[in-house]
Structure 1
Amino acid sequence: MDNGAHFSIEERAESGPVLALTGAYLVSTIGEIDADLRDVDGDVGAVDLSGVTAIDTVGAWIAARLSTRLGVPIVGAGDRASRLLKEIESANEVEPEATDLRPGYERAAEHVGVLVEEFVGGIKGVVGFLGQTLIAVGQLLRSPRLFRGKAVVRQLDLVGIRALPIVGLMSFLIGIVIAQQGAVQLAQFGAETLTVNLVGRITLRELGVLMTAIMIAGRSGSAFAAQIGTMKLTEEVDAMRTIGISPLQALVIPRILSAVLMMPLLGFYSSVVAIVGGAVVADLSLGIPFLTFLERIKEVVPLYDLWVGLIKAPVFGLIIGIAGCYHGMQVAGDSEQVGRRTTMAVVSAIFMVIVLDAFFAVFFTEIGWG
Structure 2
Amino acid sequence: MDFAFDARTNELRESLLEFMDNYVYPAEPVFEEQLEQLPNRWAWDSAPVLQELRAEARRRGLWNLFLPGEHGAGLTNLQYAPLAEITGRSIHLAPPALNCAAPDTGNMEVLSLFGTEAQRKEWLEPLLEGEIRSSFAMTEPDVASSDATNISTRIERDGDEYVINGRKWWITGAMNPNARIFIVMGKTDPSADRHRQQSMVLVPRDTPGVEVKRAMHVLGYDDHEHGGHAELTFTDVRVPVSNLIGQEGDGFAIAQARLGPGRIHHCMRAIGAAERALELMCARADERVAFGKPLADQGVIREWIAEARVRIEQLRLLVLKTAWLMDTVGNKGAHTEIQAIKIATPATVEWILDKAIQVHGGGGLSQDFPLAYAYAHNRTLRFADGPDEVHKNSLGRAELRRQRRAREERGG
Q: TM-score range by the shorter chain?
A: under 0.3
Which one has the largest radius of gyration? 1
Higher relative strand content? 2
Question: More relative contact order in 1 or in 2 (CA 8 Å, sep 6+)?
Answer: 1
Higher relative helix content? 1
